[in-house]
């Protein structure tokens, strides 16, 4: 398997033995250190930043590491889509964005629905190890963890004797306080309502009888496809053989930007996702294709 995992295409659930995950690996110092010190284990980094991924890929290649993998996706959806329950050995979260303002706390990586998904995918006796320089974030995470009723919780200060990254060692030597929180899963978490999406094996094009295409009907529309599912179209481009519709689908907060292709043929019109758009194939994406076909036929 390649180091980079395309979560939209890879076969799920992911099968990588002895797997540990780092959420938000940034420069990659920590995951690379873990991988070098534990060649018998595998490590997957989940990151949103493309630059971080590029840096890690270069480093892994240069150092010839075969036990590091990475994917670019929001951590919640990465865990939700990629792993089966009780699969991961340990999870690491180092200095995640603390989102200081109260109104932004819902974006924190340790809100109940996120921590619930992380806990579900963790093996019993596996640990979520959090490091932060923000004590308010540690407290918030501890409180969330308590509500799930599935962890033994250990809290403390990070010590110089622990495996540290270059920056941590520097911060500690400067006298900065660094905190750690270890959440050991001892039973299954209490259920928390959480966002879901349904992936499908295949997306099917929709064929409709030939009509004259009215661009006004399909551009700049906003449609509700279901509970917390919204589909928006923007600009429509006309080409020689049909049209391309700039589209956005939001499913419970999972966003996809892509193009829908409308091919005008002699015997009818075919609506499909453009082959140039890399998408996660979901039930609602199929609905979006059907909706465009419906709009064209109306």
- Relative to beta strand 68-72, strand 88-94 is unpaired
| Contact residue for ligand SAM among 85, 97, 139, 146 (CB under 6 A) | 97
Q: Which two tokens stand for residue 19?
A: 């797997």
Q: Is the sign of the CA dihedral 22, 26, 30, 35 positive or negative? A: positive
Window of 22-30, 59-67, 258-266, 270-278 that interacts with ligand SAM by CB under 6 A: 22-30
Nearer to ligand SAM, 27 or 105 (CB): 27
The span from the CA of 189 to the CA of 193, in Å, is: 12
| Contact residue for ligand SAM among 69, 95, 118, 243 (CB under 6 A) | 95
Q: Please, what is the minimum distance in Å from the beta carbon of residue 56 to ligand SAM?
A: 11
Nearer to ligand SAM, 231 or 254 (CB): 254
Nearer to ligand SAM, 25 or 243 (CB): 25
Bridge partners, 261 (sequence order): 244, 272
The span from the CA of 149 to the CA of 131, in Å, is: 21
Which positions from 39 to 58 touch ligand SAM by CB under 6 A, shown as an x/- string?
-------xxxx--x------
| Contact residue for ligand SAM among 68, 96, 206, 280 (CB under 6 A) | 96
The span from the CA of 153 to the CA of 142, in Å, is: 8
Q: Which two tokens stand for residue 243?
A: 């049209």
Q: What angle do CA 3, 20, 89 make, to 5 degrees?
A: 145
Interface with ligand SAM, residue 75, by CB under 6 A: yes
Cβ neighbours, 10 Å, residue 256 = 20
Q: Which two tokens stand for residue 88?
A: 């991961």
Total number of residues binding ligand SAM (CB under 6 A)? 17
Interface with ligand SAM, residue 271, by CB under 6 A: no
Interface with ligand SAM, residue 110, by CB under 6 A: no
> Catalytic residues, which ones?
97
Residues that bind ligand SAM (CB under 6 A): 23-27, 46-49, 52, 74-75, 94-97, 109
């Amino acid at each position: 398997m390649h180091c980079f995992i395309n979560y939209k295409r890879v076969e799920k659930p992911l099968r990588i033995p002895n797997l540990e995950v780092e959420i938000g690996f940034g420069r990659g110092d920590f995951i690379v250190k873990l991988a070098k010190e534990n060649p018998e284990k595998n490590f997957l980094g989940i990151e949103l930043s493309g630059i971080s991924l590029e840096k890690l890929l270069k480093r892994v290649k240069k150092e010839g590491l075969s036990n590091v993998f990475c994917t670019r996706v929001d951590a919640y959806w990465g865990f939700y889509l990629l792993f089966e329950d009780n699969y991961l050995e340990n999870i690491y979260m180092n200095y995640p964005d603390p989102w200081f303002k109260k109104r932004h706390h819902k974006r924190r990586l340790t809100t109940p629905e996120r921590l619930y998904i992380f806990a579900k995918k963790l093996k019993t006796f596996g640990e979520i190890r959090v490091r932060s320089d923000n004590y308010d974030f540690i407290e918030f995470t501890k409180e969330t963890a308590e509500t799930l009723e599935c962890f033994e919780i250990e809290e403390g200060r990070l010590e110089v004797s622990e495996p540290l990254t270059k920056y941590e060692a520097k911060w500690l030597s400067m006298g900065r306080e660094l905190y750690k929180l270890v959440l050991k899963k001892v039973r299954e978490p209490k259920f928390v309502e959480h966002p879901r999406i349904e992936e499908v094996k295949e997306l099917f094009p929709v064929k409709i009888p030939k009509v004259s295409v009215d661009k006004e009907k399909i551009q700049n529309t906003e449609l509700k496809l279901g509970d917390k599912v919204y589909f928006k179209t923007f600009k429509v481009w006309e080409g020689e053989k049909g049209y391309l519709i700039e589209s956005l689908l939001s499913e419970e907060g999972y966003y996809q930007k892509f193009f829908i292709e409308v091919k005008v043929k002699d015997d009818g019109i075919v609506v499909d996702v453009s082959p140039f758009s890399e998408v996660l194939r979901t039930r609602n994406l199929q609905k979006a294709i059907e909706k465009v076909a419906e709009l064209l036929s109306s």
